[in-house]
Homo-oligomer: A and B are copies of this chain.
Amino acid sequence: MDNKAMLMIPGPTPVPEKVLQAMGKHPIGHRSGDFSKIIGEINEGLQWLFQTKNEVLTLCASGTGVVEAGIINFLSAGDKVLVGSNGKFGDRWAQISKAFGLDVQVIQEDWGVPLKPEDFGAALTADTDKAIKAVIVTHSETSSGVLNPVEAINEHVKAHGEAIIIVDAVTSLASYDLKVDELGLDVVASGSQKGFMLPPGMGFVSVSEKAWAAYGNATLPKFYMDLGKYRKSFAKNSTPFTPPVNLYFGLQAALEMMKAEGLENIFARHERQKQACRAAMKALGLPLLAPDDYSSPAVTSVIPGDVVNSEDIRSTMRKQFDIALAGGQDHLKGKIFRIGHLGFVCDRDILTTIASLETTLQILGYEGFAPGSGVSAASQVLR
């Protein structure tokens, strides 16, 4: 039905009415006192959400742009970096590092297989002359639904002492209890259209004192992405370049909602819905790409295999039930579908999706499950 679409993809995620209404206001001048107050409120809210005392800087850019800023601000051409890659986004950060002339060592795993902390440990321990300047890790790998063990990898980075850790937390921030300051994560980047319950168009990056020290020596060219400029403006509740004013209005409303829900509840909701989703897929006999212990709270990847075609599932879900699921990316195109359960998602949405998926599978002639078993398994988790 026209106008009835339900987003169960890992971004853009559903946006609350309150946030849409806030975004629909007339813009105001971005150099006005009124807007400065909004910036101040947002800065404080983002620090709360990032669990950090570091500045959290806001850029007008997509997630890729913000992670790029998180990389290039702290390095110089030829610097050695260690990049964990087990999916499309890990691959991308390696590509960016290469595009900027860094000396890239990739810690590679197949899509769906978690990065091994010991591989980082080995590379970092072997680096006795401390040539490695940064370790770049994707926390929640959106392309596969793997949650990489960033805490354990970080321990090896801390033991190394010299390197900073740069974390792509695009789909884990605001959905997973990522303790930025407690872990001492140096650079943590995320994007608005994910756990933040906003449309795409802005991104956020927190920067530690250790990373700022690296910034002082970094010579990769930058201007629009120069985080030093954003830091100066942050201190004055301002922005170095024209900010996306209406998204700021939306973020103000979204942060208010998140504060009312509370961090613990937000994380528990994501964990519960993930577990419900995974339990349902198992009951339906549909294999999961990511292992249980390394599964993302944001997205679940399902491999329907030869029994039923993943694109047929997505097509029927969209046409008959007006539910958007994500497909696979790159070599997994046509082989998996991905259920996003990130941001403004309630338990009802999970049951709705699973009930519709059960019916879809029946329509497509897949009979490898007892009707109702998916919904029942999800109920077990949610009740």
Q: Which residues of A contact B (CB under 8 A)?
A: 5, 7, 9, 11-12, 14-15, 20-21, 23-32, 60-65, 68, 72, 95-96, 99-101, 191, 193, 199-202, 220-226, 241-247, 324, 326-327
Known: A62-B60, A99-B222, A224-B61. A29 touches B242 (CB 8 A): no
Known: A5-B28, A201-B201. A64 touches B193 (CB 8 A): no
A16 and chain B: residue at smallest CB distance = B26
Q: Which residues of B contact A30 (CB under 8 A)?
A: 12, 200
A102 and chain B: residue at smallest CB distance = B221
Q: Is the interface of A mostly helix, strand, loop or mixed?
A: loop
Q: Could you say how many copies of this chain the assembly holds?
A: 2
Q: Is B199 in contact with A246, judged by CB distance below 8 angstroms?
A: yes
Which residue of A65, A225, A242, A243 has the most chain B CB atoms within 10 A of its CB atom?
Answer: A242
A23 to B201 Cα, complex, angstroms:
12
Known: A200-B30, A221-B220, A224-B64. A11 touches B242 (CB 8 A): yes
Which residue of A202, A244, A245 has the most chain B CB atoms within 10 A of its CB atom?
Answer: A244
A65 to B66 Cα, complex, angstroms:
13
A220 and chain B: residue at smallest CB distance = B221
Known: A193-B27, A224-B68. A201 touches B100 (CB 8 A): no
A27 and chain B: residue at smallest CB distance = B12
A192 and chain B: residue at smallest CB distance = B244
Known: A24-B21, A243-B200. A224 touches B29 (CB 8 A): no
Q: Which residues of B contact A244 (CB under 8 A)?
A: 62, 199-201, 244, 247
Q: Is B65 in contact with A241, judged by CB distance below 8 angstroms?
A: yes
Q: Which residues of B contact A193 (CB under 8 A)?
A: 27, 242, 245
Q: Is A245 in contact with B12, judged by CB distance below 8 angstroms?
A: yes
Q: Is B26 in contact with A99, judged by CB distance below 8 angstroms?
A: no
Q: Is B24 in contact with A24, judged by CB distance below 8 angstroms?
A: yes
Q: Looking at the assembled complex, report how far the CB atom of A377 sits from the nearest CB atom of chain B, in whole angstroms.
A: 27
Q: Which residues of B contact A14 (CB under 8 A)?
A: 26
Q: Is A62 in contact with B243, judged by CB distance below 8 angstroms?
A: yes
Q: Which residues of B contact A246 (CB under 8 A)?
A: 23, 199, 201
Extra contacts, 20 of them, besides A12-B28, A20-B26, A29-B324 (Cβ < 8 A), are: A5-B26, A5-B28, A9-B29, A12-B30, A12-B242, A15-B26, A27-B193, A30-B200, A60-B65, A60-B201, A61-B224, A62-B224, A62-B243, A62-B244, A96-B223, A200-B244, A200-B245, A201-B201, A201-B244, A244-B244
